[in-house]
Amino acid sequence: MPNYDINDPTDVDIMRANFDMITHREWDHYIARALEKNMSNKNINILQTAARKAGISKYLSPKVIKWVLELVDELDEDNLL
């Protein structure tokens, strides 16, 4: 994942666009993978929050969006290995 700056409006717009492209079904898969991987409850809870806000990133802070996208990248990398 690129290193986004949450204080840069352009980076925030890119992060929001990337977040909004993830569908409800994809969030369900990410949550299932996080459970299989035994991730912390904190990470699983934020993924569940992201699933509820799928497609409407304007209700999440840039910090949360960055955190969620980092988790998604981590889960994608583990899936490829």
Q: Is 55 left (phi over 0), alpha (psi -120 to 50) or beta?
A: left
Cα gap 15→65, rounded to integer Å: 7
Q: What percentage of the chain carries pLDDT values higher than 90?
A: 90
Any idea how long the chain is?
A: 81
Give pLDDT tens digits for 27-56: 999 999 999 999 999 999 999 999 999 999
Q: Which two tokens stand for residue 4?
A: 């986004």
pLDDT of residue 64: 96
Amino acid at 55: G
Report the SS3 class of residue 16: helix
- The domain limits of the chain are 9-80
